[in-house]
Structure 1
Amino acid sequence: MNTFIELIGVDPNFNYRLLTILAIDVSIAILLLGAMRFLSGLSAQVNSTEELAKEDNFAFGISVAGSILALGIVLTGAISGEAAPSYAMEAIGMLAYGGYGLLLIKVGRFIHDKVALQHLNKNALIKEKNLTIGIIDAAGAIATAIVIRAVLLWVDGLNLNTFIAITSGFIVAQTMLLIVTRLREKQYANNNQEDCLQEALSKGQLALAIRYSGQAISTALAVTAASYFLTYDPDTLVMNLLGWLIIGVIMTLLVAILTAIAKRIVLWGINLVEEVDQQHNIGVASIEMATSIAIAMILTALMT
């Protein structure tokens, strides 16, 4: 092995250091992912072990799965980039970014509950094993994490300004999710004789939850496009926040328009209001979700 390393011109010390940093990052990541499960139970005021294994609460399981995936997405942003100059700094950076990301995911869930979907008692409905609410909860956490990851990749260094920038991106994400939720509520009411979207979700209409999840995640992907247009500068954080918001709105509108066109082509001849809103067709809703996310991913990739 040493002969091979010498032949290809790689410093053996570099490999050892890289493996050590990898071990540090992976160990911290696994600990944080494990903590997320128990924190999810704590925030929902339930015993996570009993809820998952004894009560067989699939809604709670989906909610926890969304939180764990969201944290994993955030951690990819913390791990990416150059390694810290020392093992201690690497561990501190991973813990700081991961811990703060975990906190923001939980704060985002609270905001989503109390502001965006203020007529729903998510905790109570998840305890009642409402799969629809579990899916909505997971999608909200994932959408928040996508934006946090983008900000982590955008910022530079580990200081107070870094965390202010991350918080700014988080605020933009929550603002955009709120705007999209209100627009979708209005659209649903117009298409269904002024019925309430949140009431329909509380009744367990899975198709609506699947569609909404696609819209939330595609919105988050659209907001991340701002990182390709703005240069991180600690001295202009207010302008950066405004820039993220403006570009986020523009990109969200663009994704919505392109998604509407794509859905007409992909689902040609199918009445989406009838199939999803009224007949609760989860197959058609899944295609809607996939189309929304696909368009957002393609558009975001084009911006790089």
Structure 2
Amino acid sequence: MLNTLLEITALNSNLMTFLAVDIAIAIVLLSAMRFVSGVTAKVNTTDELAKQDNFAFGISVAGSIAALGIVLTGAITGEAAESLTMEVIGMTSYGIFGLVLIKVGRLIHDKFALNQIDKTEQIKAANITVGIVDAAGAIATAIIIKAVLIWVYGLDVNTFIAIFSGFVVSQAVLIIATRIKERQYAKNNQGDSMQQAFANGQVALAIRYAGQVISTALAVTAASYFFSYSPETLVVNLAGWLVFGILMTLLVTLLTFIAKKLILWGINLVEEVDQQHNIGVAAIEMAISISIAMILTGLMA
């Protein structure tokens, strides 16, 4: 093992330097995410986490940090840059841009997907359910941003336009998926509001929803295997991403429905999760949703 590492290092004398720089930048950006979370929520993060013991805020921040970590894996995937300076510029630019997009994605999710509740106020009020929903939304957004970062190449204006455009497509698909889940919940619960259920603190429902949005994000990333990045055909490719993402989301939803029927045979999911708030069953639902999406995405690759 040691000999292999030495051989790899010998092939490129700058390898360890590049790795050290990437890790250092990543740690700085991850640290910044806590500060940014406090600024956007207009709270002191130390007070919220250590004095108020606000678990909901902690879950929300954890989701944001995990999301940025996912984005950064997209930034460092691939060959090293031609120079250390370009590596620093690329890693920092992608990282900061990813951090901004995660926060913008949260605002879009708040305004359009979950527009009936004030997530920021709910999290300040220590609503763990909303904290889980917020973290799931951030992670789902990051999964798609990572896929776009790997999909594009270069470091120019066209690259960042492509990343932002892919981000917009991802948000559109996540909003559509949320609307579908809302209608399904209302149909199964005599017209009740899923968002109001989140506000009421139904943790099991939030866990199920987390699985659904993350699986949707995974489904959307499969489009990167079928469309080649080209600045000249960016609009066509992104339209393809949107259509393909919706189709993949529907396919994942269908396969997940079948898998849940088989794996949770004899269990009334509406009764257990929606009405009895069974966190255990909801956790299994989440695992099934994500597993099916990962398997399908792996097959597409």
TM-score by length of 2: 0.97
Q: Which residue type is aligned with residue 203 of structure 1?
A: N
Displacement of 1:239: 0.4
**Judging changes above 3 Å, is the alpha-carbon distance between structure 1 residues 269 and 78 closer, same or farther for their aligned structure 2 residues?**
same
**Superposition pairs of residues 30-45 of structure 1, within 5 angstroms:** 30-45=27-42
4+ runs deviating over 2 angstroms: 4-16
CA spacing shift, 1:202–1:8, aligned 2, 3 Å: closer
Change (3 A) 1:8 1:75: closer
Q: Distance in 1 between matches of 2:10 and 2:222?
A: 38
RMSD (Å) for aligned C-alpha atoms: 1.7
SS of the residue aligned with 1:118?
Answer: coil
Query: Which residue does the alignment assign to 1:170?
Result: 167
8 Å contact kept, 2:9–2:15: no
The separation in 2 between residues aligned to 1:251 and 1:85, in whole angstroms, is 37
Find 1:90's aligned residue among 87, 91, 101: 87
Percent of matched pairs sharing the same residue:
67
> 1:5, 1:11 within 8 Å by CA — same for their partners in 2?
no
Deviations 1:9-55 (A, max 9, x none): 94866443000000010000000000000100100010001100110
Residues 231-285 of structure 1 show CA distances to partners (whole Å, capped at 9, x for unaligned) of 1111111001101001101110110000000000010000000000000001000
Structure 1 Cα separation of the partners of residues 238 and 6 of structure 2: 45
Q: Indicate how the Cα distance of structure 1 residues 5 and 33 shifts in structure 2: closer, same or farther if over 3 A, else same.
A: closer
2:255 paired residue number: 258
**Equivalent residues in 2 for 1:1-304, closer than 5 Å:** 10=7, 14-304=11-301
- Structure 1 unmatched runs, 5+: none
What is the deviation of 1:6? 10
**How many residues of Structure 1 are paired with residues of Structure 2 in the alignment?**
301
Contact 2:169 2:238 in 1 (8 A): yes
Matched-pair contact (CA < 8 Å) for 2:67–2:138? yes
Q: Distance in 2 between the 1:77 and 1:12 partners?
A: 22
User: SS at 2:267's partner residue?
Assistant: coil
- Indicate the SS of the match to 1:16: coil
Give the AA of the match of 1:56: D
- For 1:5 and 1:295, the matched residues in 2 are separated by 38
Which segments of 5 or more consecutive residues in structure 2 lack a partner in the other structure? none
Measure, in 1, the Cα distance between the counterparts of 2:134 and 2:272: 23
